[in-house]
Each structure stands twice: as C-alpha cells, then as structure tokens.
Structure 1
Amino acid sequence: MTATGARHYTQPAAYQSVPGGPLDLDTALYDRIAGADRTSIDQFEVPVRSGRAWEVPAGAIVRLSSVEGPQVGDLNLWNLHNPRERFWAARTRQLHRSSMTTHDRFWSTLPSLRPLATVIADTLADHPDAEVIHDLLGTRCDPYINRLLTGNDVDYHCHSNLTRAVQQHGLTEFDIHDVLNVFQFAGLNADHEYFMDTCPAGPGDHFEFFAEIDLLCALSTCPGGDLSVHMWGPEAASTEEQLQHCHPLGVEIFTVDEAALEGWQPPAIAAYEGVHGRHGLSAAPFPQS
C-alpha cells in the first residue's frame, strides 16, 4: 500500500532555521556517537500488551528492538527532573516530518522547547515505505476512543499501559501524552484519512536514540500487535485474534566512550525572554476586552 496518496505538494517546509541553526544538525557528531564503543548498563523486554517505564542518564543510548516478530510500540519521554517538560509530537513533526528516522530529534514542550533526544540509528531507514514508518501522525490507542467507536469497554490499550507504567514514578494518566509510534506503518491515504498497516519490522530491527538530558521513558507494546488486523470498524478483530499478532519489544541502554561525546553538551532551554512569555506574565497581564 502506498502511503501518501496520489497528490504530492512541492511547497517548501514552513519551519526552517538559519544555516548552522538548531535544525542544521551536526550529523558527524551523532554518527560518531552511534558508532562509538558502548557498554550495556540495562536490558529488558516489555511483554505483550504491557508497558514499562525506565530512567536514562544524559549522554546514554536507548535501543528499542523487535525481538520475535513485528510489533508496534508507543513511546513517551519526559525530563526526569521536571516531567512538565515532555515530548511534543506536534512540534516535532512540524520541525522534521510526519515520521521519525536517523538524525531527527524529539522536541520538548513549551516553555523549554529543546531536543530531549536525537535518533541515531534506524534499521528501517532504507525501507521502501520509510517515510511512513515510526509514525508521528497518530497517537496512542485508548479505552475512551474504543468506547466511543464501539460502545464497548476494552482495557487493552497503550494509554492504559503507559499510565500503569509511570505510576511508580509519581506520574498519572494526565502526564501521558502524544506518542512516537515506533515501528508503526501509518499515514494518510488518497482521501487524506489516517490509516495503519502491517508493521514491517522483523527480528533484529531496531531504533536508537541518544538522550540529550536525563530522561524518563515509557513504552507500551501495543495490544494491536503488528496492526495486520483492524482494531475498529466492520472488519475489526477480537482482542483474542489481535493477541495472535503480538510480540514483546526489547529495550537496552548503553553508555558510550567519553571520547565520542567530545563537542556535545546537553541543550539549554529556549532562550526567549519576551514580555509575552514565561518571563513577563506579571509585568504584562493578558489584555482585557
């Protein structure tokens, strides 16, 4: 299935930075980090239809892997020390594209607006449909939309998995946010409707990102598995049928050789100091009509 429909637009990207600006990434630095000697400091699997949260120190690498077969994972990121700063999927797709791959960055919410992490490896980057793999257009499945569309309560959803995963870190359902759908094949069809198709990842495929700051990460193994069967609509599969298409996902965290980090430093929060932002709320109250 082709991903983007019949019509292609040629307008330039709306969000661009000056040469040498924040969107002009030092790719040589990140390629050096990706290829540097590394040491595994933690490794685990996220079982089917579940979620897990974990901490990552700045300067470390996280690898998400397809273990046994195709499986979609829903990923959230937060600043470990201030979870109000979290991954901003909408701004990320404006600054990069509607899916993520090598050298794209996970941008954070206002008022910080800085890269939380940078993608340094993607084994599906050369896939024929790479432009719609690791989807940023859609968000996590949740029991509320399931009730809306079907009239039924079903507990197997990524929103629920992520909520349970972060509770031990002091976060709640209100902290769960729009995700990166790792390994997900999704886009807009010819009628500009959102679609999902079978996950193309196989055993050994992986997606790696470099932590720019100390992170809290959470990953859900989507209860829809590889999304080869529909979750909603007249052809929707039962939860038992979906389970047959579910696999675990692997997570591994690495530290890298210090020499590879030469020239890198954690990014500062946005430098904006105007009176209509966080620095001027008391000095310039919202105008009254």
Structure 2
Amino acid sequence: MGNPNKAYRCLPGGPLDVDKEFYDNIAKEEGRVKEQDFTIPIRTGKAWVVPAGHVCRILSVEGPQVGDFNMWNLHNPREHFWAARTRQLGSASITTYDHLWSTLPYMRPMCTFTADTLADYHDPDGGNVHDLLGTRCDPYINRMLAGYDFDYHCHSNLTRAVQPYGLTEFDVHDVLNVFQLSGLNQQQEYFMKACPARPGDYLEFFAEIDVLCAMSACPGGDLSVDMWGPEGASTAEQLKHCHPLGVQVFSVPEERLEGWHQPECSPYVGQNGRHGLHFTPFVDLPKEQQEAHA
C-alpha cells in the first residue's frame, strides 16, 4: 500500500510553512514574566484571556488529567478555533509548531504551539496525544448512553466558564483534548486510552491574536476507566482518576517579537462580492454569459 499525500498543502514559503526559529526563540523561558498562574479544580472549568504576543502553558500538576479546550477571538467570538480545518491543515493531534486555525470567513492562525513535553510519546495502538478527532463529553450524550443526568461534563463546565464573558452554550464548540490519548481502531472506531501526562508535563502556545480561552478538567479524569457502556465506571469510581490542571500565562521580552505581526483575516472578497452574492442581474449579462449560465 502507498502513503497518499496530504490533501491540504501550500507552495514553498506559503502560510503553512512555519518559522521554526522564531517559535523556538519564543519558547525560551529566560526573561519571561509570569502574568497569570491558576489551577482548574477537578470537574470544573475556567475561562481566561491571553493577549496577543503572550505565551500560555497548560500543566499537569498532580497527576494525569485530560482538559477540553476552547478558544475565541477576544473581540469577536464568532471567530473561534475550528477543529476540522485544523485537522486538515495539520494533523489529527497537536504538537509543537502546529496552529489552531479559526472559522470562516476569518481563516487565520489564532495561536501556534511552541512546546510539548509529550511530543515524542509513542502509542503502540496508533493513538496520539492532544487529540483533535473527538469532541467534548456532554450531558446530552450522557443522558442518551447512561440514562441519567450529570451536570459536570466538559460541555457544561465550558458553558459555565464563559458566561461571565457574555457567551452561552451555543458558543461552546469542538475542542482540543489536551493530554488526551485517542485514535481510530482497525474498524475506524474512535477510542480513548489512559492519559500519559505526569506532573510537570505541559503544552504551550503563543497567542497570535488576543484570545479568550476556556478549559474543562474532564470528569473522566485520566480516561483510564470507561465512562459508558457495559464496563462503564460509576461516577464515584471515575472521581478517583481526576486531577486538577494548571494554567500559566507569560509575557515575553519585546525583542523576541521583532518582525512578528498579528495575522490578517482571509483577504477573500470574491470577484463579484463575497461568494458572488452581489452580481450583475442575470438579464443584464452579455448574451454569451447568459448562454453559459442557461
């Protein structure tokens, strides 16, 4: 069997080519100033702001724990991280030098990952850490699969976290599963395995624009026990596998930002207005164009 080429590629020097030297310089810890440092307790969520040009680190602080992560443009929440396009432009999991890409019509990198202590982790079953394949657990799927209500799934935690910023359940979107080990089995079914993160492991990103972030400490904890199905663990059993998550935000020395600028939104405007929606009425088109559209 061959190895097909990645579908979404650019010309050399295009927008998918990352300036690794710049981001390696950003990743240096010397000279940073810690602006925020907090813990997200088990089975809760929290939202926070990362200004453009700052670095954010997500930490495993006490033990293995999965975090479900969302990101929005701080000034325009209609622009948010787009998991599907990020998978297509990158891969099904996140690591160093990857971007999180934003939704249409904005279509730009919102952040770039600068450090990942689990970048070299190998799973014999083909799983990957920092999963983009799956999405957040939610009380609706729990009701369907387990038959009871539970209000502390990641969707609920994220919803409560963003309410102080004027956002609602409808703004919560597909997630980056930080520290989660997931993949597709031979039947192309989604699987999750025990989180490999240990205290001190971290994933770090550089904010390309001002962003609002939110993360839930998943109620499944390290996902070492099944949440649903015949072997599904009780809520009390799952609780034994839960740990808090840490978040730190740093400013970086200004000289490291030399030459950097915030990415612009997509310049697409269309030939006759965006998507051709503002076009000359059909009856006024030249005869040959009328025939071509007939």
TM-score (normalised: structure 2): 0.92
Counterpart of 1:83?
77
Match of 1:177 among 173, 180, 195: 173
Displacement of 1:190 after TM fit? Answer: 1.2
Match of 1:252 among 245, 248, 251: 248
Residues 62-82 of structure 1 deviation map (CA, whole Å, 9 limit, x = unaligned): 000000000000000000000
Displacement of 1:191 after TM fit? Answer: 1.1
Structure 2 residue 11 is matched with structure 1 residue 37: no
Counterpart of 1:19?
12
What is the rounded CA distance, in whole Å, between the counterparts of 2:12 and 2:204 in structure 1?
Answer: 26
Displacement of 1:274 after TM fit? Answer: 1.1
CA RMSD of aligned residues (A): 2.0
Specify the code of the residue in structure 2 equivalent to 1:115.
P
Displacement of 1:147 after TM fit? Answer: 1.2
What secondary structure, in the 3-state scheme, does the structure 2 residue paired with 1:103 have?
coil
What secondary structure, in the 3-state scheme, does the structure 1 residue paired with 2:27 have?
helix
Alignment of 1:97-116 (within 5 A): 97-116=91-110
For structure 2, list consecutive stretches of 5 or more residues without a partner in the other structure: 282-293
User: Structure 1 residues 211 and 9 mapped into 2: Cα distance closer, same or farther (>3 Å)?
Assistant: farther
Residues 162-200 of structure 1 deviation map (CA, whole Å, 9 limit, x = unaligned): 000000000000000000000000000111100000000
What is the rounded CA distance, in whole Å, between the counterparts of 2:188 and 2:260 in structure 1?
Answer: 40
For structure 1, list consecutive stretches of 5 or more residues without a partner in the other structure: 1-7
Structure 2 residue 137 is matched with structure 1 residue 167: no
Displacement of 1:37 after TM fit? Answer: 2.2
User: Structure 1 residues 277 and 138 mapped into 2: Cα distance closer, same or farther (>3 Å)?
Assistant: farther
Alignment of 1:167-206 (within 5 A): 167-206=163-202
What secondary structure, in the 3-state scheme, does the structure 2 residue paired with 1:117 have?
strand
Contact 1:275/1:284, CA 8 A, preserved across alignment: no
Displacement of 1:219 after TM fit? Answer: 0.5
Residues 116-165 of structure 1 deviation map (CA, whole Å, 9 limit, x = unaligned): 00000000001123961000000000001111112222222000000000
Structure 2 residue 154 is matched with structure 1 residue 158: yes
Alignment of 1:137-156 (within 5 A): 137-156=133-152
Displacement of 1:107 after TM fit? Answer: 0.2
Q: Which runs of 4+ in 1 moved over 6 A?
A: none
User: Structure 1 residues 276 and 85 mapped into 2: Cα distance closer, same or farther (>3 Å)?
Assistant: farther
Aligned length: 281
Displacement of 1:246 after TM fit? Answer: 0.2
Counterpart of 2:290?
none
What is the rounded CA distance, in whole Å, between the counterparts of 1:263 and 1:104 in structure 2?
Answer: 20
Specify the code of the residue in structure 2 equivalent to 1:71.
Q
